[in-house]
Amino acid sequence: MLRKFLIFFIPAILLVYSSSAQMRGMMRGMQGMGSRMGGMGSGGGRGGSDSLSFEKRNFAADSVNVQFRYLDTARYGGLDSSLNDFFRRVPLKPDLIQIGHNGNASYSALYSPLRGPGWDPGFHAFDPFAYTLADTRFMNTTKPFTELGYLVGSKAEQQISILHTQNATPDWNFVINYRLVNAPGTFNSQNTNHNNIRFNSDYNSKDRRYHAYLIVLSNALQSSENGGIEDESYLVNPNPAYDDRFNIPTNLASTAFSSRNFFNVKLSTGNRYVDRHLLFRQQYDFGKKDSVVTDSSVIRYFLPRLRLEHTVQSDSYAFKFFDVQSASSADFYKKNYGYNSLPDTVDLNSGWKNLTNDFSVIQYPDAKNLLQFFKAGVSLAHYRSSPDSVRDAFVNVVAHGEYRNLTRNKKWDMLLYGAFYAAGRDAGNYIVQAKLQRSLGDKLGFLELGFQNINRSPSRIFTEKTAFPVVTLTNANNENVTAISGSLFLNKMKVKLSADYFLQSNYTYFSDYRTAAQYKPLFNFLRAGISRETLLGKKWHWYLDLYIQSVAGNAPIQLPWLYTRNRLAYEGKPFRNLVLSTGLDIRYFSPFKANG
């Protein structure tokens, strides 16, 4: 049966506040112009004036210039304040297949294999709801800037988000992020409660030689589980009690222990994943000083030629399944997980603590172009399981190299990257990556080509003994993935054409609730897509995303062959200070046999 998803946008309340304290001095080290964002501030006359007349508001004085970049990039970008895609504001992205509300386990309808070599725990059900080191933004701002977001949905679903950034000095910025995703669910024991918090800061010395970066983040992801409803006939049962889906019997978790009160976040039956990360990076540059003389001042800067870099990273992971009422679900555990007897409380844990030290050398062939460099380094990573898990410990040694270049004419953007696991349990793992972007002119657009080859050990949950009742693999081979991609962006037509080709062997998966399996033959997976914006009128827009994908052979990958998303939106400015985007978001995917 064809499935259709029709979602009506409920506008989120987005409040942007910028303080009135103007930062003094020029922002040193900015490498590009950022977006101009209009803050909401007080206008009107001067304080203490006896006059009833009002001065014309100076919008330039209210504005704030916020720029950001990621940890391993040198290019700054501006904050995206567009309203035309609601899913920019929530972690649950439109291509994710899930069971109906924000926070539960999900996976993408578009195939994307794991591509990271080396150690991986294997728990990825809640990845879309986690902050990561890679998506951390280091900012630079002319004024303190705060963005508050509050989203409320049906059945008291809610999301609270906070972003605050400011420059303590022109050379020192810090950013604080917080997000709460809370949903009571429709059925019994379906409530979720995700908390994410992140603090990051970057500092540049006055002589521009020393740079320091700090990231501290924590994710606490919690989702109750009910094992599914006992019988789908309850959905059409004439019993009026079942009109409230919360009362339908489920395989796990009696309703006596469950609650839809969003203030009650105690876990009775379900999963709780907690991961914490600390990264501290220091850089020291060797090069020469230079300056630019203007009519009124002299601006001094530093041109690096050689950079020494040290990064220390600490990670901890705790994965937990908990059921305080397991006795009432003995048949479910016996049938699906092989338990012949159960304790009063099922409490399964797997935890790891990792410490990585990396030393790298970066060389800039052109001191005036920091977007061209060679980088080489070595990492020493220590892994050990936490005391409440099956004991394990090992060390990996990784050598890596990189070349990047954005040419001065901005037409070519190149990336070459490779990492090889030289010693340790994951010895022989590697990743080779190449990426090329070519500008075809402002009117035409640009072309992007990519290549990756990854050789990785299967995730630990498939091969290593843990507290979880998994029948592990005894003769698993390394997974090998080759990914070739191409995209063509046509600016004038507002069209993006894309194609992705995967060549993969030793695909690792679960064949049932607890049995790990590996599909060893080489197989192909192809996906083609088109994205286009069409103007239907002066203020009406149609946004199309269409993907077709197919797997060759008998690989156990269960995904729809067709996925499309269509947004019909009114975008206008009915009043001077109101920008409105509203409409319909329609998603459809072809029928397929889902996992499990």
Instruction: Tell me whether strands 172-183 and 479-490 are parallel, antiparallel or unpaired.
Output: unpaired
Predicted pLDDT at 563: 97
* Mean pLDDT over the full length of the chain: 86
Predicted pLDDT at 61: 57
Predicted pLDDT at 41: 34
Mean local confidence (pLDDT), 459-463: 94
> For 18-40, what is each residue's pLDDT tens digit?
333 333 333 333 333 333 333 33
The model's confidence at residue 392, banded by pLDDT at 50, 70 and 90, is confident
Mean local confidence (pLDDT), 111-126: 93
Strand spans (E) along 186-229: 192-204, 210-224
Predicted pLDDT at 30: 34
Predicted pLDDT at 62: 61
The yes-or-no verdict on residue 57 having pLDDT over 80 is no
In sequence order, the β-bridge partners of residue 362 are 307, 375
The yes-or-no verdict on residue 52 having pLDDT over 50 is no
The yes-or-no verdict on residue 55 having pLDDT over 70 is no
The model's confidence at residue 320, banded by pLDDT at 50, 70 and 90, is very high
The model's confidence at residue 365, banded by pLDDT at 50, 70 and 90, is very high
The lowest-confidence range among 9-18, 339-348, 370-379 is: 9-18
Task: Considering only the C-alpha atoms of the chain, give the largest distance between any 2 of them, rounded to a whole number of Å.
Answer: 85
> For 562-594, what is each residue's pLDDT tens digit?
999 999 999 998 888 888 999 999 999 999 998
> How does DSSP classify residue 515?
B
Predicted pLDDT at 51: 39
Query: CB atoms < 10 A from the CB of 163, how many?
Result: 20
Predicted pLDDT at 77: 86
> For 248-273, what is each residue's pLDDT tens digit?
989 998 766 676 666 667 888 999 99
The lowest-confidence range among 34-43, 377-386, 505-514, 586-595 is: 34-43
> For 180-233, what is each residue's pLDDT tens digit?
999 988 888 888 999 999 999 999 998 889 999 999 999 999 999 988 888 889
- Main-chain phi, psi angles of 337, to 5 degrees: -125, 0
CATH numbers and ranges of domains, the chain: 3-40+54-589 (2.40.170.20)
Q: What is the rounded end-to-end Cα distance, in angstroms, of the chain?
A: 18
Q: Which of 583, 546, 582, 586 lies closest to 566 in space, CA to CA? A: 586
Distance CA 242, CA 232 (A): 12
Mean local confidence (pLDDT), 545-570: 94
The model's confidence at residue 301, banded by pLDDT at 50, 70 and 90, is confident
Predicted pLDDT at 32: 37
What is the value of pTM for the model shown? 0.86
Query: CB atoms < 10 A from the CB of 173, how many?
Result: 22
pLDDT over 70 percentage in the chain: 87
Predicted pLDDT at 22: 34
Name the amino acid, one letter, at 156. A
Query: CB atoms < 10 A from the CB of 207, how many?
Result: 10
> For 481-492, what is each residue's pLDDT tens digit?
999 999 999 998
- C-alpha angle 21-24-26 in degrees, rounded to nearest 5: 130
Mean local confidence (pLDDT), 497-517: 95
Predicted pLDDT at 24: 34
